[in-house]
Structure 1
Amino acid sequence: MPRFKRGHAAAGWLAAAVLLTSGCTALDSSSADDAGEGASYEQAYADHEPLHVVGYPSTGSLRVVQELVWDIADGKVDELRKLATGDSGEAEARKTGENWIKAFGTGADGMVTGDFHDGGSERQVVVLYFHDTRQKAEFTVRLYGDTGGENWRVLMKSPDFKDATRTPGWAPKEPGGTGSRMKNNG
């Protein structure tokens, strides 16, 4: 069995690490590309301030709310409509998205905190606090379809401007004011 000098062993380990890392990167980017969203999500993340979070979101509920905020900030009605649950009619979802952009677009472009109430297993109420404009809004996100927890969508059934932009009277002035904890059912 040949003996390697320390420098050769280190170079071998380095080469193996580079190979493994590049393989993981390739796997990661290809799966993101297959989903058709990886690059756009990464770019949107780089272009916006990330959502500040209070409470207990699931990975899916957090992602859909983050996309919701970015699409509102960017004025992307069509992208918002794609986030709607299937039981939100297309015209209804489009009008709701337009209302949200008009009402919250300026605030969504700044610092936003999402206060995730209850557990995020199937449905979650989220109160967004738009810090620059001092607005807050309530959104409901939920699993949609049979995709094993990966397909979170936003309920968009408020085509009336007042209804779509109503301030939740029950929500505290500041994020986390109610404790934003999961309910203890036992």
Structure 2
Amino acid sequence: MVIVRTSNLFIKRLIDFIGSFFGLITISPILIIIAILIKITSRGPLFFKQERLGKSGKRFKVIKFRTMVINAEKIGNGLFIKTENDNRITKIGKFLRANSLDELPQLWNVLIGEMSLVGPRPPVPHHPYQYNDYNEFQVKRFSMKPGITGLTQVTVRNSVPWERRIPVDVKYVEDFNILLDIKILLKTFKKIFVKESIYLENNNKGSN
């Protein structure tokens, strides 16, 4: 079993590297269009960078397209986005969030090995817990690299509290195999074209 899992992890990294490399090249026209729309519709930087917890609690900066006004985390509900009508979200940002297009720059995080295409989403270091506050069961979710998408994103997404998402993440870690990753990626592509609510009071999507 250890050999099989090791082999699956090797293949996973290979897929991550090839997928993110060619993915960035293939969607570069889309990235350019999004970048232009962000710049001409709102004031501020193109990207939003935020410190997150990665594998084994190691900190790194996740890269996303900016979808909110400058210093949004210091306005209103801070880190929390309770509704798609939050007035801190820009017009283009609302569209990007609804279709998860704001996550596309994270392909760079995948390319350099900080993230994977599939895995548990990385939380901010101070919310909802400090890394050392996770119990023995919960900390299992950090035994694999965080992903752009994951089992949680194609099932419950942000529609349930963080505590109820953790068991889903742990299940992914425990059941991990390449076929599961492929199924999650296919479901992710499908969800891009199906509009659904991604908000819940006290969710932890982050400010941008």
Under a length normalisation based on structure 2, what TM-score does the superposition of the two structures give? Answer: 0.27
Q: Which has the higher Rg, Structure 1 or Structure 2?
A: 1
Report which structure shows greater RCO (CA 8 Å, sep ≥6): 2
Higher strand share: 1
